[in-house]
Amino acid sequence: MIISMQGSTPVGYIEQSSEKIILATGGGGFYIIDKNDILNKRPKLLPLPTNFHEVISNRNFYSNNGAHSIKDILIKDGEILVSYTNEKYSDCYNLSIISAKINYTVLKLYNAFQFEECSNEKGTNPHEGGGRMVNYKEKQILLSVGSYGINKFPQDKNSIFGKIIAIDIDSGKYNIVSMGHRNPQGLNYDEEHDVILSTDHGPKGGDEININMDRLGNSTIENYGWPISSYGSHYDGQHRTDAPLYKSHIKYGFKEPIIEFTPSIAISEIIKFPGEDSKNDFLIGSLGFTDLEGRQSLHYLQFDKLYKTLLFKDVWFIGDRIRDLLSIDKKVVLMLLEGDHNVLPSIGILEFD
C-alpha cells in the first residue's frame, strides 16, 4: 500500500558511471544499481550511505514537499554533483550544488557551489526551480535555474533566477548563457553541433523547447521571453502587468521556441535519441497527473541539421509521470517513472534495436 506518496515530490533522478546506475531520490536517498543487472532486467537496488542530511541545512527538506528536494544529479570528472533547493539564509532560497567523489561504499558530500543571491520574495516557489545539470565545455557544466515563481527575476540580467548558467566547477566562476526561463526542467548539450536545447515547463499551456545555437565565441545571452511572452496563460486567467504573457515572442524581441505545447504536456527532461548516427533526434519526457494526450509520454522529435525545422514527431504513451531520462549503451533508454497513488514508482527500460 502506498502510504504517503506526494505527486509533486520528485521520486528521484538517475545518472550513470561506466559500470553503475546511481539513483538519488528527491528527498536525499542514494542507491546504486549494476548496469549489467539493469540490462538483464534483474536490478539489485543497493543503498549508498551518504552524509547528505548533515550537509543539508534546509529546514523544509524533510516536510515531504517536493519543492524542497534534490533537482538533479550529474557525474563529471569522477565527482557526482547534486543540485538541490538550498535555504541560503533563513526563509531565503536558491539552487545550490553539493558534490562527492564517486565511491560505491559511501558518498562524502560537501558544498561545491552556491550562489550568493537567494529569494525571500512573497510567493517564492522552489517548485519552479529548474535544477537540471549537463556537462558542457571543458570544466564547465550547464545549470538551469528556474524563476522560483517570481516574475521580475527572469528578465533581470543581474539575477541568477530564470537563467541557464555555465559554471566552471573548479573556479566557481559562472556566466549567464540564456534568460527568460520559467521552469527549465530539461537540458541537453549537443556537443557535435555546439547547441544547447532546453525545455521550459510552462504555466497553463505554453510548454516550450528552446534552441540556443552558435555558442562558439558567442557571448550573446539568448532571451526566451518569460514572463513577457508565453503561449501559456496564468492558472487563474487573470492579467498581470508584470507578466502579460504575450503570445508572440519575436514581436517583443525574444526568441521563439522551436516547438510549444498548448495544452501543456508537463514537459520534463530532454535527451538525445540513443544511436550511433548524428541525426538531431531527441526524446522528451512529460509528467502530468492525467493521461491527456501528450502527458505521461515520451515525445520523439526529429529536427533538421540546423535546428530550424521539426521534421518528425511521434508520441509514445508510457502511462506514468516521466521524471528523468537516461540513455545507456547507445540502444537503451531508462526512464524514472513516478507511479501514482496506486502504483509504485519504477524504472522503465526501453530497448531500441
Partner 1 sequence: MKKLLLVIVFIFQFVVVPYAHEQNDAELLNNDTGEVVQSLIDRLDEQNKKIDNQKKVINKLSLKLDSTLYHFFGNIITHNSNEIITKNNKYTLTKIYLPFNDYFNARIYPSRIY
Strand ranges inside 243-345, DSSP E: 259-261, 267-272, 280-286, 297-303, 310-317, 322-328, 332-337
- The site that binds partner 1 (CB under 8 A) totals a number of residues, namely 54
Q: Is 3 in the site for partner 1 (CB under 8 A)?
A: yes
The total number of residues written for the chain in this structure: 353
Nearer to partner 1, 150 or 298 (CB): 298
Do the beta carbons of residue 76 and residue 135 sit within 8 Å? yes
Q: Is 104 in the site for partner 1 (CB under 8 A)?
A: no
Q: Is 51 in the site for partner 1 (CB under 8 A)?
A: yes
Do the beta carbons of residue 133 and residue 142 sit within 8 Å? yes
Per DSSP, the three-state class of 62 is: helix
Q: How many angstroms separate the CA atoms of 142 and 189, rounded? A: 8
Q: Does a cis peptide bond (omega within 30 degrees of 0) precede residue 263?
A: yes
Q: Is 184 in the site for partner 1 (CB under 8 A)?
A: no
- DSSP alpha helix (H) spans, the chain: 35-39, 52-55
Nearer to partner 1, 23 or 177 (CB): 23
Q: Is 311 in the site for partner 1 (CB under 8 A)?
A: no
For the record, the C-alpha cell of 280 comes out as: 538531431
Q: What are the φ and ψ backbone dihedral angles of 38, each rounded to 5 degrees?
A: -65, -45
Q: How many angstroms separate the CA atoms of 270 and 253, rounded? A: 26
Q: Is 26 in the site for partner 1 (CB under 8 A)?
A: yes
Give the closest residue to 347 by CA, choosing from 331, 326, 330: 326
Among 229, 232, 240, 316, binds partner 1 (CB under 8 A): 316
Q: Is 349 in the site for partner 1 (CB under 8 A)?
A: yes
Binding mask 289-308 for partner 1 (x = CB under 8 A): ---------x-x--------
Q: At its nearest, how many Å lie between partner 1 and the CB of residue 352?
A: 6
Q: Is 285 in the site for partner 1 (CB under 8 A)?
A: no
Among 13, 20, 31, 136, binds partner 1 (CB under 8 A): 31
Q: Which stretch binds partner 1 (CB under 8 A): 91-99, 163-171, 206-214, 315-323?
A: 315-323
Q: At its nearest, how many Å lie between partner 1 and the CB of residue 26?
A: 7
Range 280-283, long-range pairs (CB < 8 A, 24+ positions): 280/190, 280/193, 280/304, 280/305, 280/307, 282/188, 282/197, 283/325, 283/333
Q: Is 29 in the site for partner 1 (CB under 8 A)?
A: yes
Q: Is 162 in the site for partner 1 (CB under 8 A)?
A: no
Q: Rounded to 5 degrees, what angle do the CA atoms 292, 295, 297 make?
A: 125
Q: At its nearest, how many Å lie between partner 1 and the CB of residue 312?
A: 8
Binding to partner 1 (CB under 8 A): which residues in 58-97?
A: 62, 64
Q: Which stretch binds partner 1 (CB under 8 A): 50-58, 76-84, 128-136, 265-273?
A: 50-58
| Chain residues in the site for partner 1 (CB under 8 A) | 1-6, 9, 11-12, 25-31, 33, 37-38, 41-53, 62, 64, 106, 298, 300, 314, 316-318, 320, 337, 339, 343-352
